[in-house]
Amino acid sequence: MEKARAVREPIRVAVVGVGSMGRNHARIYSSLKAVELVAVVDADLEVAEESARLYGCDAAAKIAEVEDRIDAASVAVPSSAHAEIACSLLAKGIHCLVEKPLALSEKDCLSMIKQRRTATPFSPSGTPSASIQRSCS
C-alpha cells in the first residue's frame, strides 16, 4: 500500500461495521472534502450494500476485500472484536479510529497501543490513529 501521499489528496477510509454508529461514521466521512469513503464493511453484506448505496461507496463483507485501497478505517463493530480488527489493520499500516469502548480488557487495549507503535507512520497530522493513544491515556 502506498503510504507517502500528498497532504492535499483525500484520506481513503473504510467503515468496518455499519450498525447505528458505523452508519454515522459513514455519513460524516461521505460529507468531508478531505476524505474519500472507499467502502463500508459488514459481515451482513446486505446491510453493507444498503449503506454503500446511501453513501456512494463500495460494500464488502470482509475488510480484507478493501484494505489495500484505504489509509484509515473506523472500527465500529461490537466491542469484543475491536482489538482483533484494529490490530490487523494497524499491522498493515492502516490507521484506525476505534469506537468506544476501545476494548473490553486492558490486555486488548494495550495490544492495540503496541501494534500502533510499530505501524507505518502516516503523513497528515491529526489522523484517526491518534484516537487510540488518547483513549488509553
pLDDT at 4: 55
**Residue 1 pLDDT grade (very low, low, confident, very high; cuts 50, 70, 90):** very low
**Residue 122 pLDDT grade (very low, low, confident, very high; cuts 50, 70, 90):** very low
Closest of 40, 33, 31, 46 to residue 58, by C-alpha: 40
Closest of 2, 47, 43, 46 to residue 20, by C-alpha: 47
Domains of the chain (ranges; CATH) run 11-136 (3.40.50.720)
pLDDT at 118: 79
Query: Who contacts 46 (Cβ-Cβ below 8 Å, separation ≥6)?
Result: none
Greatest alpha-carbon pair distance for the chain in Å reads 38
Length of the chain: 137
